[in-house]
Structure 1
Amino acid sequence: MFSAVRSVVSSGIKTSIRTMSTIPGVQKVVLIRENGGPEVLKYEEDYPVPKIGATDLLIKNKYAGINFIEVYFRKGIYPSEKPYVLGREAVGEVVAKGDQVDKYNVGDKVAYLSASTFAQFTKYPQNGHLIKLPKDISAEKEKIIAGSLVQGLTPLTFIDEAYNVQKGDFILVYAAAGGVGLIFDQLLKARGARTIAVASTDEKLQLAKEYGAEFLINSTKDDIVEKVKEFTNGEGVAAAFDSIGKDTFETTLQVVKRKGTIVSFGNASGAVPPFSINRLSPKNLKLVRPQLFAYVADPSEWEHYSSELIRLIDSGELKITISKVYPLKDYKEATEDLESRKTVGKLILEIPE
């Protein structure tokens, strides 16, 4: 590859853009043009490559992490303009930059949080949620980081901000063998919390135990409320991290102790139906509905949590389990596996050259 400088005109302003090589006009992407089931997913090979401005980067993606949030956009639980290129995180290389970019150079390897990462190229501002990576980083490490941003930063921020977990707290974690769940298991154990893991099979529960969970509940055959009472001597949990939504919310209301906290952050079974806030009063419960991006909106917050995540991974204190890597064109298969609860750990997409 070689470096080149070209000029473009955007909104009447001439901008110089430095590129690593000739950038194609079209690219391969996974997108939706309407809401629905997996059948609405499209793998297109002639989607336009985005044009960048003076303060933008063009990143050529190598790996992108798969998250359940893509399902919410596909189904229309979260609104989006169409066509909508899916994806929320990736690792790649800067292949072009605007002439006002001073933090990154063409050739830099980066990890970042952004929409539209299920694509060969993503346009992103230099002041966005980016991490500069070593130039000699291995492919295996790239996969791990691509799969750790959303699912790693979510528990890392939540156990500080949504509910500040203390040593000895009983904490309930749903989907405890999923990508987010396994990270919760590890971080909560490091805090000295007593994690109660909920999963759909005994095999998944054993994995959660290996990663730090202390108590196990099989959601297909155990009574979650009774088991929580048993484990906590009838008191309940200090906090519940509920990524399931509609099907578990009523149970969560029952298992959280007096003055406890419900952290509702997912819609795997659908959105929680409207309910009267008066139902929180008998036990003086707190209910929060957090999202990761609002916890890292300020640059200092992003720097704090992203650097801590990388430190935990590099030190070996946090293990990211990549269970399968799919080609970009096979995202439909990947999400069907994810939605049918066939998987544990993290799923990754490999983006074609």
Structure 2
Amino acid sequence: MTHAIRVHDYGGPEALQWEEVEVGDPGPGEVRIKQTAIGLNYIDVYLRTGLYPQDQLPFIPGMEGAGVVTAIGEGVRDLKVGRRVAYAGPVGAYAQERLIAADRVVRIPETVSDETAASIMLKGMTAQYLLRRTYKVGPETTLLFHAAAGGVGMIACQWAASLGATVIGTVGSSGKALIARSHGCTHVINYREEDVVAKVKDYTKGEGVDVVYDSIGKDTFPASLDCLKRRGMWVSFGQASGPVPEFRINLLAQKGSLFATRPALGDYIATRKELVSTANDLFGVIAKGKVKIAVNQTYPLAEAERAHRELEGRLTTGSTLLIP
């Protein structure tokens, strides 16, 4: 027997229960992993509350982890026992051991620790698709990144800066402003004290930005649209403050023939080839020192409830790990 965090009923952090579970042997195409580190992400809150409902209850939340392969199922050819691997999805990460499809894990390079890998798979691959595929960022790009001191923000802003972009970040405190500036932001706006739209217009000489990356949702709409230049792109990839209100699509025309998209990581790593390519790009920029990873908080896995309370209270910065 091993232990995991399970959710029996959707709800607050108290819904996270530390329990004994049985893992079993890997089936065809699966591997069993003894996990060494698990990433904490805001999507875990959406899973716990039922915003992203699961097929059945109880379930084990969590979408990101790293560890060592301890058993291999029939038909698995390119992994062996003892191999260090990491993954982002499917759900079930909050466990000491787990089963997972072999084609959903990637090998961790020798240059990357388990802790780093577990903290970057979801956030780092999200940053990769946002900057390299949803909108291809380059030296001519000026962008706005909300929650610049958050887990995705700290990775994406460094990466964007290394691509030559001008990065404007929003944060909620002076402490987080310092973090954002040290992680690639050219300009930082404290949204609690400053008018975000007005400051963006100041920094861009009235033009607006090419692209806004928005994981906040309700609280940043429609302000995010007002920060864009004509034909700019609004990328809504999360809703930390609640869902974006429904709006008529002609609003995009009224505000400058804007583009809007609601991407999800799963659609950018749907195939094995896409997954490996995305992960390798991420590992590459880390190996070259273009993106430095800060694991700023660690909690025992058994204390996932406390970790969730502090995450939702916006008391965390950068990456957070749960240690089995």
Normalised-by-shorter TM-score class? over 0.9
Do residues 250 (structure 1) and 222 (structure 2) align? yes
CA contact (8 A) 2:33 2:71 kept: yes
The answer for the alignment partner of 2:49 in structure 1 is: 75
Residue of structure 2 aligned with 1:52, choices 23, 26, 30 = 26
Q: How far off its partner does 1:247 sit?
A: 0.9
- Residues 1:230 and 1:32: Cα distance change in structure 2 (over 3 Å): same
CA contact (8 A) 1:176 1:198 kept: yes
Q: CA offsets per residue over residues 164-183 of structure 1, 9 Å max, x none?
A: 11313220011101111111
Residue of structure 2 aligned with 1:173, choices 118, 122, 145 = 145
Residue of structure 2 aligned with 1:267, choices 239, 246, 259 = 239
Q: How far off its partner does 1:113 sit?
A: 2.0
- How does 1:36-47 map onto structure 2 within 5 Å? 36-44=11-19, 46-47=20-21
The answer for the alignment partner of 2:286 in structure 1 is: 313
The answer for the alignment partner of 1:220 in structure 2 is: 192
Question: C-alpha distance in 2, partners of 1:60/1:133?
Answer: 18
Question: C-alpha distance in 1, partners of 2:17/2:232?
Answer: 43
CA contact (8 A) 2:38 2:94 kept: yes
Q: CA offsets per residue over residues 177-230 of structure 1, 9 Å max, x none?
A: 111111111011111111111000111111111111011100111011111111
Unmatched runs of 5 consecutive residues or more in structure 1: 1-25
The answer for the alignment partner of 1:302 in structure 2 is: 275
Counterpart AA for 1:65: G
Do residues 286 (structure 1) and 249 (structure 2) align? no
CA contact (8 A) 1:31 1:43 kept: yes
Q: CA offsets per residue over residues 108-154 of structure 1, 9 Å max, x none?
A: 121122320110111112222322444xx78xx21111101111111
Do residues 195 (structure 1) and 167 (structure 2) align? yes
Residue of structure 2 aligned with 1:150, choices 110, 113, 122 = 122
Question: C-alpha distance in 1, partners of 2:108/2:227?
Answer: 42
Counterpart AA for 2:251: R
The answer for the alignment partner of 1:12 in structure 2 is: none
Residue of structure 2 aligned with 1:127, choices 97, 103, 107 = 103
Unmatched runs of 5 consecutive residues or more in structure 2: none
- How does 1:201-216 map onto structure 2 within 5 Å? 201-216=173-188
Partner of 2:194, secondary structure, is: coil
Counterpart AA for 2:39: G
Partner of 1:147, secondary structure, is: helix
Question: C-alpha distance in 1, partners of 2:2/2:276?
Answer: 31
Partner of 2:122, secondary structure, is: helix
Q: Normalising by the residue count of structure 1, what TM-score does the alignment of the two structures yield?
A: 0.88
Question: C-alpha distance in 2, partners of 1:109/1:304?
Answer: 18
Q: CA offsets per residue over residues 3-26 of structure 1, 9 Å max, x none?
A: xxxxxxxxxxxxxxxxxxxxxxx2
Q: Normalising by the residue count of structure 2, what TM-score does the alignment of the two structures yield?
A: 0.95
Counterpart AA for 1:310: F
Question: C-alpha distance in 1, partners of 2:40/2:15?
Answer: 17
Counterpart AA for 1:125: A
The answer for the alignment partner of 2:323 in structure 1 is: 350
Q: CA offsets per residue over residues 50-103 of structure 1, 9 Å max, x none?
A: 442122111111100100000011111111121110111111111111232211
Question: C-alpha distance in 1, partners of 2:28/2:16?
Answer: 33
Q: Which has the larger radius of gyration?
A: 1
Q: CA offsets per residue over residues 217-255 of structure 1, 9 Å max, x none?
A: 001110111111111111111110001011112111211
Partner of 1:84, secondary structure, is: coil
Counterpart AA for 2:107: I
CA contact (8 A) 1:262 1:288 kept: yes
Partner of 2:222, secondary structure, is: helix
Partner of 1:52, secondary structure, is: coil
Question: C-alpha distance in 1, partners of 2:221/2:132?
Answer: 22
CA contact (8 A) 1:175 1:199 kept: yes
Partner of 1:127, secondary structure, is: helix
Question: C-alpha distance in 1, partners of 2:36/2:142?
Answer: 40
The answer for the alignment partner of 2:72 in structure 1 is: 97
Partner of 2:238, secondary structure, is: coil
